[in-house]
């Protein structure tokens, strides 16, 4: 007795071949469109560091209710470890 069991329905091989051709054509079309446009390269007009330097200051957002990380001191100034780190970064950037 021969095993005549197949995993594809009638005409399945034709469907599989058509699917393969479609996938290959889609990949080829995508590649050709990408090469025509020169590819996608996200290049910012100005880097973040350049933007900070041209602005002349480092803008930092904080929630000043997490001592010792950040808090408002008795003089009403922001203080804490995170503030000191931000000041050091600003100093390294020259702002």
The CA distances from residue 1 to 8, 10, 41, in Å, are: 21, 21, 61
pLDDT value, residue 6: 59
pTM of the shown model:
0.50
pLDDT value, residue 70: 95
pLDDT value, residue 36: 72
pLDDT value, residue 69: 94
Which of the two residues, 14 and 24, has the higher pLDDT score?
A: 24
Question: 64 with 70: CB under 8 angstroms?
Answer: yes
Q: What number is the average pLDDT over the span 67-85?
A: 95
Q: What is the pLDDT of residues 22-52, one digit of tens each?
A: 899 888 888 777 777 665 666 666 788 888 9
Q: What number is the average pLDDT over the span 58-82?
A: 94
């Amino acid at each position: 007795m021969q095993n005549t069991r197949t995993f594809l329905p009638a005409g399945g091989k034709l469907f599989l071949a058509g699917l393969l051709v479609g996938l290959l054509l889609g990949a080829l079309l995508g590649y050709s469109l990408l090469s025509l446009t020169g590819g996608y390269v996200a290049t910012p007009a100005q880097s973040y560091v350049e933007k900070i330097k041209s602005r002349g200051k480092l803008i930092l957002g904080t929630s000043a209710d997490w001592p010792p990380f950040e808090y408002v001191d008795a003089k009403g100034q922001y203080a804490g470890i995170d503030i000191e780190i931000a000041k050091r970064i600003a100093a390294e950037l020259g702002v």
